[in-house]
Amino acid sequence: MFTFYLIILYILFVVASSLDNGLAITPPMGWISWLKFGCNTDCEAYPDNCISDKLFRKMADIMSSEGYLDAGYQYLIIDDCWMAEYRDNKDQLQPDPKRFPNGMKDLADYIHSKGLKFGIYEAIGNYTCSGYPGITLENLEKDAKTFAEWDIDYIKVDGCYANKKNYKKTYTDFGKFLNNTGKPIVYSCSYPYYLEKAEQRVDYSYITNICNLWRNWNDIEDSYSSMINIINWYSMHQERILSYSGFGSWNDPDMLIIGNDDLSVKQSQTQMAFWAMLSAPLIMSADLRTIRPEFKEILLNEDAIAINQDMLGYSGFLMKSILGVDIWVKPLAVIVNDFPTFAVLFYNKNFIGNVFTVSLLDVGAYIIHSYTAYDVFEKSNNQLVLPNENFTFSFTSEMMLYKFIPNGD
């Protein structure tokens, strides 16, 4: 079993090899349009729900005034379909003139006036994934300068129509051109996903030096099964991917689907818990104008966010499975009474029964010390666990997330 000291030494090694542009020191938090609004460009039929200046100004208003920004959600990101169908007569990217009549710089200024940061989407290749003008090889530098002139703070770069053989060079070159602009821009790369799908080797040690975050696996859909499939993929491949997650460089299991149509409250807690444990970017994609209070409460859960944003910067891992219960552990930076705190997620895959008992040795605790088990979603201290005692709790849902806090023995 890993000890906390060995884990911390390993973290320091990983952090030393991460992208050093001073950005995304903790996993980025924000909102993106794709899952809820997709590529809806019909503003005549759907004036309030199309990809437009109006929609993003409204989301900026809500993020800044209803607690999201205060909780850490700072990036407002436009996904695909913001572009005009063609570049302009100078071969520059341009937004759709009807849907974004004031241009992107004006929208960026408005978003910044709300205390938020502005993110945008593009794709390497002739076309974006929805068929709009992409970033071709001859336009890498030009487009990087355009995004800097628009005062963009974050860019998600896809690669549906790119040549897989050129991924490494084109993503590297575009990142260099972004840095050369002098404008700090968080760089999100999608190309590991395409290589993983093609069963090609992904050099994550290299990617950590060119990207702040990267997609590994399938696009998430608004379904519980899609979310669980992504979690299962991470657990199956954790030995080769989780160690590359750290300050400035993060694995990205895709956006939060909380607050949309499919997930129940308990299932939404499950996604929030796993994304917190994985140190995943927390990028919402619900309609913030109509989200129900119980889902908003999950997205704003201070304890889950604190676990996600923990300054130790380590990704939680599946330590072991006991009687059909997966036990995920994440060491935390907070020191209490000279001992580290840590988070533990218990995921009930096929445990028969309700009451579960586990030794703290199985979750990496210092057995000579006592701990208080804090239930993250119930926001309550579950019990005091004394040295050499087992921890016993009842599954009130398929997932339970606890923070173990050392006591002053």
Which residues are known to be catalytic? 158, 219
Strand, helix or coil for residue 267: helix
Amino acid at 322: I
Residue 363 DSSP code: G
Residue 256 DSSP code: B
Q: Nearest Cα to 159, choosing from 118, 104, 215?
A: 215
Strand, helix or coil for residue 321: strand
Q: Nearest Cα to 36, choosing from 77, 96, 97?
A: 77
Q: 304: which residues sit within 8 A by CB, 6+ positions away?
A: 272, 273, 276, 298, 376, 377, 401
Q: CA–CA separation, 326 vs 26, rounded Å?
A: 26
Degrees to nearest 5, angle at CA 341 with 339 and 343: 155
Whether the Cβ atoms of residue 184 and residue 22 lie closer than 8 Å to each other: yes
Q: Nearest Cα to 50, choosing from 37, 31, 35?
A: 37
Whether the Cβ atoms of residue 15 and residue 246 lie closer than 8 Å to each other: yes
Class of residue 406 by CB neighbours under 10 A (exposed 0-12, middle 13-18, buried 19+): buried
Tell how many helices (H) and how many strands (E) occur in the chain: 14, 16
| Burial per residue of 79-110, b for 16 or more beta-carbon CB atoms within 10 angstroms, e otherwise | bbbbbbeebeeeeebbbbeebbeeebeebbeb
Q: CA–CA separation, 79 vs 37, rounded Å?
A: 9
Whether the Cβ atoms of residue 283 and residue 255 lie closer than 8 Å to each other: yes
Q: 12: which residues sit within 8 A by CB, 6+ positions away?
A: none
Q: Nearest Cα to 256, choosing from 278, 233, 289, 227?
A: 227
